[in-house]
Amino acid sequence: MYLDGSATAPVSGRAPDILALLGDRSTLARQPAFRIAEVDGPADLSAYRRLRRAAFVYEQGLFRGHDLDERDTDPRTLVLIARGRDGTVVGGVRLGPATDGRDIGWWQGGRLVVAPAVRG
């Protein structure tokens, strides 16, 4: 139990916030709604791709079956995801070279997706 009488555990997944552990709920209230990070393993990548498929294949009807392409298999491509306070993947974008072949330093983003529940 916390000093404020609540039994709710602080947000997990990162270093503990000492003030929150002592019962300072205002510390938790100041946390951002989401955090951006590079994909960290197959589970993150799968969650991002599920969001993409839901948005681009089913919701918008832009592709049939899947929306994967050669950029997804390019080893230079980076995927950034947005995680909600509970750790759920709520969005993402892939970044990679703007041209095929030799990387000349021009990169572009693509397949930006945001979960319907967090769209503004």
> What mean pLDDT is predicted for residues 63-92?
94
Average pLDDT, the chain: 86
- How does DSSP classify residue 100? S
Is the pTM value of this prediction over 0.75? no
pLDDT in tens, 4-43: 566 655 555 666 667 667 767 776 677 788 899 999 999 9
Helices and strands in the chain, H and E counts: 4, 4
The token pair at 43 is 């589970």
Q: Which domains does the chain have, with CATH numbers?
A: 1-31 (no CATH), 32-118 (3.40.630.30)
CB atoms near residue 117 (< 10 Å)? 8
